[in-house]
Amino acid sequence: MDVDIRQLELLEALGRGDSLTAASKRLFVTQSALSQRLAALERAAGTDLFVRSGRRLEPTAAGRRWISAAHVILGEVRSAADDVSQLARPASPTVRLTSQCSTNFQWLPELLRRYERHHPDVEVRIDTGAGDRPVPALLEECVDVAIVTKLEADLERVELAPLFADQMLAVMAHDHPLADRKYLTPRDFDGAHVILYDSYDAARGARVPLPLPDGARPRRITFMPQITELIVQMVAGGSALAALPNWVVEPYLEPHNLCAVQLTRRGMGRSWYRATRRGEQPEHLAAFVALLHQQFARPAAKRPGR
Q: Is the pLDDT of residue 152 over 80?
A: no
Q: What pLDDT does 182 receive?
A: 95
Which letter does DSSP use for residue 238 in this model?
A: S
Cross-strand partners of 51: 58
CA angle 91, 73, 168 (to 5 degrees): 100
pLDDT digits (tens, 9 = 90+) for 245-295: 998 889 899 999 999 999 999 999 988 899 999 989 999 999 999 999 998
Q: How far apart are CA 202 and CA 270, in angstroms?
A: 20
Distance set, CA 71 to CA 65, 197, 218 (Å): 10, 12, 26
Q: Is the pLDDT of residue 175 over 90?
A: yes
**What is the distance in angstroms between the CA of the first residue and the CA of the last residue of the chain?**
46
pLDDT digits (tens, 9 = 90+) for 90-117: 567 899 998 887 666 778 888 999 999 9
Which letter does DSSP use for residue 18 in this model?
A: -
Class of domain 5-72: mainly alpha
Domain boundaries of the chain, sorted by first residue: 5-72, 93-306
Q: Quick one: CATH architecture of 93-306?
A: 3-Layer(aba) Sandwich (3.40)
Q: Which of 48-57, 67-76, 79-88 shows the lowest mean pLDDT across its residues?
A: 79-88
pLDDT digits (tens, 9 = 90+) for 156-165: 789 999 998 8
Say how many C-beta atoms besides its own lie within 10 A of residue 185's C-beta.
14
Instruction: Give the confidence band of 197 by pLDDT, cuts at 50, 70, 90.
Output: confident
